[in-house]
Amino acid sequence: MKFLLLGVILILIYFIFFRKKSKVVENSKNSNKEISADEFIPCEKCETLVSEKEAIIVDGKFYCSKECGGVK
């Protein structure tokens, strides 16, 4: 009877502590997916890939730098 009670307690401890850790790992994986969802676009002049957030837009075209876009 003592072994059965000890087994139940160990199983409860396992589910309480280890299941919470797996949820935290899943949440961190989802946040990484959001970060890497940024798309890369080729520069109109030199065709260097630049992230959409960092690209310079001139007349509706994407450029990697001010030099390529002709902006001073």
Residues 54 and 30 in one domain: no
Residues 18 and 30 in one domain: yes
pLDDT of 67: 92
Residues 70 and 42 in one domain: yes
Q: Which tops the pLDDT comparison, 15 or 50?
A: 50
Q: For every residue of the chain, which 3-state class applies, written as one string?
A: CHHHHHHHHHHHHHHHHHHHHHHHHHHHHHHHHHHCCCCEEECCCCCCEEECCCCEEECCEEECCHHHHCCC
Total domains in the chain come to: 2
Cβ within 8 Å of residue 21, ≥6 positions away: none
Domain of residue 57, residue span: 38-72
pTM of the predicted model as reported, rounded to 2 decimal places: 0.47
- pLDDT, averaged across the chain: 79
pLDDT band at 20 (very low <50, low <70, confident <90, very high): low
For strands 56-58 and 61-63, give the pairing. antiparallel
Residues 22 and 45 in one domain: no
